[in-house]
Amino acid sequence: MLKQSTNPTKTKQSLLKSTALALLLCTAHGFALDADKDEDFLLEGDNFKNLPEVVKGETKIKYWGHVVIGQGSLKIESSEAVIYSNKEGVSKVILTGQPVKMEKLIDKEFGKINVIANKIDYRVLKDELLMTGDVIIKSKVQGEMSGEKITMNLKTKEIRGEKSSNKRVKLVIKAKSK
């Protein structure tokens, strides 16, 4: 059985500490997108090839065979990844697989997205995702969107879908549970 404090000063201090901790956690969670950029970009795969040619200030690295990428809240699994980097760091990652799986915390308000697609062109410096081939995006805020070509601006949270020759863009917004 818990003993309740009869000292109002201790109770007030405890409440203030709990509130400060909760605010700190919410703030850290709210800046996930920015905080991710400060984290190291970790890559693993069965195979690796450095493509030493520098084109327009960028170099390329290719990974293939169960590629796993992580950076903060970002987690990606694909069959192949080509990583472009320049003096600013990783500028772009082109991921292919059957399918590519990606999860990322956008921010506290928007929450986490889960993406499945055959190809993802992640333009890191522009905070953009260009997803093609049987794309499915799930989020608590936006519901579930699917289509052949979907783009997302990770900063503004704008999502755009384009129909393909035989497939329209679909959005399912779940009914509010009681």
- Maximum distance among all Cα pairs of the chain, rounded to whole angstroms: 71
Q: How many residues does the chain have?
A: 178
pLDDT value at position 101?
97
Residue 26 lies in a domain: no
What dihedral angle (degrees, nearest 10) is formed by the CA atoms of 19, 21, 26, 32?
Answer: 170
Give domain status of residue 82, yes or no: yes
Residue 11 lies in a domain: no
Residue 139 belongs to some domain of the structure? no
Q: What is the total count of domains within the chain?
A: 1
Cα separation, 31 vs 175, in Å, equals 28
What whole-number distance in Å separates Cα of residue 104 and Cα of residue 34? 12
Copy the structure tokens of residue 122: 């992640």
Q: Tell whether 65 is covered by a domain.
A: yes
User: Is 25 among the domain residues?
Assistant: no
Q: Per residue in 26-73, pLDDT tens?
A: 333 334 456 777 888 899 999 989 887 788 899 999 999 999 999 999
Residue 24 belongs to some domain of the structure:
no
What's the pTM?
A: 0.76
- Given a contact cutoff of 8 angstroms between Cβ atoms, the answer to whether 122 and 103 are in contact is no
* Tokens of residue 120, six digits: 């993802």
What tens digit of pLDDT does each residue of 105-164 get? 988 888 899 999 999 999 999 999 999 999 999 988 878 999 999 999 999 989 998 887
Tell me the CATH number at 94. 2.60.450.10
What range defines the domain where residue 43 resides?
36-127
